[in-house]
């Protein structure tokens, strides 16, 4: 799917933000064209020269002040997230809380991850001192999606800033107000910083494409796989490195010894929370045949009472992007045509911008509801003969983002067999709330990682420094003054160092 195909309301130079539940116009923004994007990047590059040379401690203080400003403005911010994205206010608060955890983790751990390290030069270079140092890249272009409009881009933004880079952020056209609020809070919290440490450019895919071509030092993209591929192709012109956080089709494996009630509870929430619009949401379940009837009945029981809406009692909100509703409908129809049986809901569950939960059992593995990202409050459940089959089917998908395993005794063992970026054992999405754990996928789910130490390293370049401290007479290896006796000595040393393992 692609948000850029399905803009809200577009005039030549403006973008209109609309409440997805009511259609109410919330605000209008000027679209940043190629020149405006260039100007933002130039300003960011100037700001990076100051920001990048601050000490880790100074940057930490600025980032923590930003976090505190977001807490101070959290009521206003959550109201805006609710209005522009549609998700319930409590879910907005939860999303903000997770983003704050990451800002704080990045601020407090940047020095530990990035500080210069002295490494061993090895026996043959013993007269050298070797230093591995990390430098900021410069300016990072961050392009974000709308489904978690704060948490998701923040996984790049907070870590890039903590590593000493300036950031130019292009929020999704469906969450422009949220993106600008996030940036403004940074500026308000840090009035003494130069303009451009963290700024926003607004617009549709065209503005994002201009950011890719703008000469930034890295693009950190979160969004659909289709857009990720376009960005990687465009970035190849300038060899601009890319971090791609793309779609998913996450599976949950429920083993015979799993806690069935806990698994059903987690699947019900993981599949429908945020209207199913979660990159690492639950889309497929493989359940052992010995516990399948009990598990399916429990999922159905829980979801029968789960209703979408925009009032305070609603479990989740509307579909944020209107075009996604057609994809959800197509996947339900295709699953039902290909052997699937709806045990809860069906196409009739689609009611305007809201979709009630849909549970489909035993659809063919080749149906679109099993192979493609649905991104709606639906889930397919397949009964399997045992763990080997569950692992094989989980790994057969082109996506490999998150996953979960429910098993009392074999959770870790099963998790280690999965070809994915992350797995929660006896929970869903647990990995996404632990700041130290990197997040990202394999295959069509993307390239690179956000969060944790690997997510920090994404926004720095290693700089290797080798210092010759003294010369060893007769051992000038990297010189024309090398002698025959040096080579004789080397021919004795090398077998001792590397030739003893038979």
Nearest to 285 by CA among 399, 390, 442: 390
Q: Tell how strand 350-351 and strand 358-361 pair up.
A: unpaired
Query: N- to C-terminal Cα distance for the chain?
Result: 55
- Residue 418 is encoded by which pair of tokens? 């999965």
Cβ 125 to ligand NAD shortest distance, Å = 41
* Total residue length of the chain: 502
Nearer to ligand NAD, 200 or 460 (CB): 200
- Residue 453 is encoded by which pair of tokens? 């130490």
Cβ 107 to ligand NAD shortest distance, Å = 21
Cβ 444 to ligand NAD shortest distance, Å = 10
Contact call for residues 191 and 62 (beta carbons, < 8 A): no
* Position with the least CB separation from ligand NAD: 208
Interface positions with ligand NAD (CB under 6 A):
1-4, 143-148, 152, 170, 172-173, 204-205, 208-209, 212, 222-224, 227, 230-231, 245-248, 279, 321, 373, 375, 401, 446
DSSP string, 16-52: EEE-TTT--EEEEEEPP-HHHHHHHHHHHHHHHHHHT
Nearer to ligand NAD, 319 or 475 (CB): 319
- Residue 498 is encoded by which pair of tokens? 């590397």
Contact call for residues 363 and 338 (beta carbons, < 8 A): yes
Contacts of 488 (CB under 8 A, 6+ apart): none
Nearer to ligand NAD, 264 or 420 (CB): 420
| CB count in 10 Å sphere of residue 385 | 10
Our CA dihedral for 408, 410, 412, 414, rounded to 10 degrees, sits at -120
Burial-class residue 330 by CB neighbours within 10 Å (0-12, 13-18, 19+): middle
Cβ 180 to ligand NAD shortest distance, Å = 13
- Quote the CA–CA distance of 189 and 64 in Å, as a whole number: 9
Nearer to ligand NAD, 138 or 155 (CB): 155
How far from 132 is each of 48, 55, 173, 225, CA to CA, in Å?
22, 18, 40, 34
Contact call for residues 78 and 71 (beta carbons, < 8 A): no
Nearer to ligand NAD, 205 or 258 (CB): 205
Q: Is the dihedral of CA 198, 199, 203, 205 positive or negative?
A: negative
Dihedral-angle region of residue 250 (phi above 0 means left; psi in -120 to 50 means alpha; beta otherwise): beta
Secondary structure (H, E, C), 408-454: CCCHHHHHCCCCCCCCEECCCCHHHHCCCCCECCEECCEECCECHHH
- Quote the CA–CA distance of 211 and 38 in Å, as a whole number: 8
Active-site amino acid positions:
245, 279
Tally helices (H) and strands (E) across the chain: 16, 23
Cβ 230 to ligand NAD shortest distance, Å = 4
Q: Tell how strand 242-245 and strand 399-400 pair up.
A: unpaired
- Residue 75 is encoded by which pair of tokens? 């009521």
């Amino acid at each position: 799917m692609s948000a850029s195909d399905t803009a809200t309301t577009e005039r030549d130079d403006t973008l209109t933000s609309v409440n997805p539940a009511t259609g109410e116009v919330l605000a209008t923004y000027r679209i940043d064209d190629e020149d405006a994007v260039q100007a933002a990047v130039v300003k960011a590059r100037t700001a990076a020269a100051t920001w990048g040379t601050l000490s880790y401690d100074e940057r930490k203080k600025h980032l923590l002040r930003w976090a505190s400003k977001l807490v101070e403005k959290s009521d206003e911010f959550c109201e805006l997230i609710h209005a522009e994205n549609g998700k319930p206010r409590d879910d907005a608060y939860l999303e903000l809380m997770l983003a704050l955890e990451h800002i704080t983790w990045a601020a407090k751990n940047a020095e530990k991850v990035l500080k210069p390290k002295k490494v061993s030069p090895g026996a043959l270079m013993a007269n050298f001192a070797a230093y591995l140092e990390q430098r900021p890249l410069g300016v990072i272009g961050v392009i974000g999606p709308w489904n978690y409009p704060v948490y998701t881009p923040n996984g790049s933004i907070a870590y890039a800033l903590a590593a000493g880079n300036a950031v130019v952020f292009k929020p999704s056209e469906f969450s422009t107000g949220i993106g600008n609020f996030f940036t403004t809070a940074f500026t308000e919290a840090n009035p003494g910083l130069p303009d451009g440490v963290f700024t926003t450019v607004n617009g549709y895919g065209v503005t994002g494409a201009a950011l890719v071509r703008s000469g930034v030092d890295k693009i950190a993209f979160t969004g659909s796989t289709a857009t990720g591929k376009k960005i990687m192709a465009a970035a190849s012109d300038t060899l601009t490195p890319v971090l791609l956080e793309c779609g998913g089709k996450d599976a949950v494996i429920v083993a015979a010894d799993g806690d069935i009630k806990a698994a059903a509870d987690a699947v019900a929430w993981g599949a429908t929370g945020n209207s199913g619009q979660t990159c690492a949401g639950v889309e497929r379940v493989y359940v052992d045949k010995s516990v399948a009837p009990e598990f399916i009945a429990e999922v159905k029981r829980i979801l029968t009472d789960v209703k979408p809406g925009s009032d305070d009692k609603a479990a989740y909100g509307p579909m944020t992007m209107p075009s996604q509703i057609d994809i959800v409908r197509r996947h339900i129809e295709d699953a039902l045509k290909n052997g699937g049986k709806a045990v809860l809901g069906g196409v009739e569950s689609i009611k305007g911008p809201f979709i009630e939960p849909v549970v489909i059992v035993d659809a063919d593995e080749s149906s679109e509801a099993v192979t493609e990202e649905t991104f709606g409050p639906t889930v397919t459940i397949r009964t399997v003969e045992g763990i080997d089959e569950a692992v094989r089917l989980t790994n057969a998908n082109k996506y490999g983002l998150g996953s979960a395993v429910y098993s009392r005794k074999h959770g870790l063992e099963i998790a280690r067999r999965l070809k994915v970026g992350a797995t929660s054992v006896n929970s869903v999405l647990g990995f996404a709330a632990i700041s130290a754990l990197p997040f990202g996928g394999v295959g069509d789910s993307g390239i690179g990682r956000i969060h944790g130490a690997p997510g920090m390293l994404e926004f720095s370049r290693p700089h290797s420094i080798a210092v010759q401290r003294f010369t060893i007479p007769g051992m000038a290896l990297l010189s024309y003054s090398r002698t025959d006796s040096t080579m004789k000595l080397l021919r004795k040393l090398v077998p001792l160092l590397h030739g003893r393992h038979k």
